[in-house]
Amino acid sequence: MSRRGERPALLVVDPITERRRTLSHALATSYEVVPAVDAAEGQLYAHNLGPAVVVMPASLARSAGGWAFAEAGDDQTLVLLGSGDPSEEEDFPDHALLLPAHGLAREDLIRKIRLVLLAREAGIESDVRFEALIGDLTRVPLLELVQVLSRMRLSARLELVGRGAIRLDGGQLHSARAGNSDDLKAFCRLGRLTEGPLRVTLEDPPPGESSLPGDLSSALVLAIEDSLGDYPPPGDLLSLSVRDGFFETSFNRLQRDILAYAHRQATVQETFDGIAETDGTILREMISLEDAGFLLRETAPTALHVMTDSTSDLPPDLAAEHGIEIVPLTVHLGGRSFKDRVDLQPGSFYELLPKTREHPTTEPPPRQEFARRFAAQPESRQILSLHISSALSETYRNARSADRPGDSAAVIDSRLVSMPLGLLTLFAARLALRGFESDVIVRRVRAMAPRFHTFFVVDTLDYLARGGRIGKARALLGSLLNIKPILGLEDGQIVPVARVRGGRQAHPKILELLRASIDPARPVIAGIAHSSAPVWADRLRSLIHRELEVQEFVIGDMGPVVGAHVGPGTVGATLFQPSADEATDLAPLSRDT
């Protein structure tokens, strides 16, 4: 695989002289361009070309003994110029990009091919509409990507979907925004993210002076320093401790600001938001004041402590923001054991997976682990523990049998897995933070769980076959015929719902199934989880946004445990349709202010 930042070559295989010359001449000033008149000549060049983007008509690829360049692999990106006929997608190779070129203006064709070249150079991918570059933080660290885009001298908007954005002007940092923070503070906050989708659009920044320093190196150093250390839960409360020596101590300005927030018993997040310095700078002074005994920090009193397991695939920053405790399952891979999302993150897992001969196995947390975590909570505090369907894992049974004081813990078999479990847990945490009583939350969670509608498509049936979910013969036949099954959750079980030819037909089918499950005239809360498939996730997100009124969209990565059973390239979507009252109760907490 080419290194990020390495400029690819362009191989144009096209018997149409005018189009071949148009692309070759327009892009030769920036890239090494190799023209070829037929598939045989193109394959000869491609064999020794190395990292490259290969462009050729879909009709030529199909006629040359099946799909020519079908095994382009990681080193080469295949772009097939289509005629615009919808039937062209039916048996189209899923790994290739289909660019409807018929009737496309010369400038638009050049721009779209250039975008694919830029995506290749940046180490991410083009979206299916050739309008943006798509990636995921589990595959490309944000700060590394910013460096690459800077070296490419791009003017671009780098959006961390749902989190914030960074703008570049000719490769120089221009501005950043994350929530209610901006400039260096926002840049450093975004730099701490480790999971989530990203989208790069090529555009000039809005008029106005840059609000970030032009020196990228100093900004990167500050962001790296800001990411060091363990951040406390954002909902923790700060309070002032006027102990001996307090009035004799000379506090610096930042310390005085922190103590002023502590005097008002502000949360950690309110303190970070209200002070101009970067979060890491504030954190270091917080620790200093805590060590001196002048600052106290305690968990915010809520009626309920919400827990789930790592199969919920809830984005880590979202879980931390809501005080959700996540109990990891174990993954056994390549003779080693890892705690899901603790010792092994999604990005590393999907890199290791193809290099390991043995099929990964998973193991639920033992009963003793749940007992330890239950006992860590004050006896006066209720616990709600939401878990993966008992039909798929022993996790619920182990949690249910764990020792816990009296009736302080409600353990629920959600009959869900992955993003719907994550959203249900998120809803429970929001209800708790809004002050609902524990028994009310438990009752509402039980009523909401069956109302999630979930469908997903796997890239390969091999992993389901290895895990015993389907027969090996059926998996082989499905692979040979390019059959993609649409799977769903029914009473806690994974069940086949429909099937299509080719991955491109799967997403419209999923949307059709989702629309049939809800009232499309009313708002929904949507979620997508994917296993190292950011482009497919982005395509499905766009389809849902285009067809439905989405109140909130959460996108997460399938972690190692879920990924071990479905394999890379899986994309799933879930919808929950709240009532009018629920829409307010379940909305993000920031809407309360």
| 32-67 tens-digit pLDDT | 999 999 988 888 888 888 889 999 998 888 776 555
pLDDT of residue 3: 64
Q: What is the total residue count of the chain? A: 593
pTM of the model: 0.92
pLDDT digits (tens, 9 = 90+) for 137-164: 999 999 999 999 999 999 999 999 989 9
Q: Lowest mean pLDDT of 93-97, 358-362, 379-383, name the range.
A: 93-97
State the alpha helices, DSSP H only, in 37-127: 39-49, 58-63, 106-122
| pLDDT above 70 for 475 | no
The CA-based angle 530-55-536, given to 5 degrees, is: 10
The predicted pLDDT at position 477 comes to 43
Distance CA 413, CA 396 (A): 6
Backbone angles phi, psi at 180, to 5 degrees: -100, 15
* Residue 116: Cβ within 10 Å count: 22
Helix 216-227 to helix 183-191 angle, to the nearest 10 degrees? Answer: 60
Task: Tell me which DSSP letter residue 21 carries.
Answer: H
Give residue 381's pLDDT band: very low, low, confident or very high (50, 70, 90). confident
Q: What is the mean pLDDT of residues 433-448?
A: 95
pLDDT for the residue numbered 208: 78
**What is the amino acid identity at position 399?**
A
CA distance 83 to 58: 8
Mean pLDDT of 505-519: 95
**Best CA proximity match to 121, nearest among 274, 253, 2, 254:** 2
Is residue 249 classed as helix, strand or coil in its secondary structure? coil
Q: Poorest-confidence range of 120-124, 157-161, 229-233, 354-358?
A: 354-358
Distance CA 268, CA 271 (A): 5
- Dump pLDDT digits (tens) for 536-565: 999 999 999 999 999 999 999 999 999 999
* Per-residue model confidence (pLDDT) at position 170: 93
pLDDT (0 to 100) of residue 436: 94
Q: For all residues of the chain together, what is the average pLDDT?
A: 90
Q: Report the pLDDT averaged over residues 5-34.
A: 93
Amino acid residing at 7: R
**pLDDT band for position 480 (cuts 50, 70, 90):** very low
Confidence grade of residue 463 (pLDDT, cut at 50, 70, 90): confident
Q: Name the residue type at position 489.
A: L
68 band by pLDDT with thresholds 50, 70 and 90: low
Q: Is the pLDDT of residue 2 over 80?
A: no
Question: Given pLDDT bands bounded at 50, 70 and 90, which one contains residue 425?
Answer: very high
Does residue 593 register a pLDDT over 70? Answer: no
The sign of the CA dihedral 434, 439, 444, 449 is positive
Nearest alpha-carbon partner for 51 in 94, 82, 7: 7
Tokens encoding 459:
């890239």
Question: Where do runs of H (alpha helix) occur along 435-554?
Answer: 438-448, 462-466, 472-480, 506-517, 534-547
Q: What 3 state SS string does 350-408 have?
A: HHHHHHCCCCCEEECCCHHHHHHHHHCCCCCCEEEEEECCCCCCCHHHHHHCCCCCCCC
State pLDDT tens for residues 167-198. Answer: 999 999 999 999 889 899 999 999 999 999 99
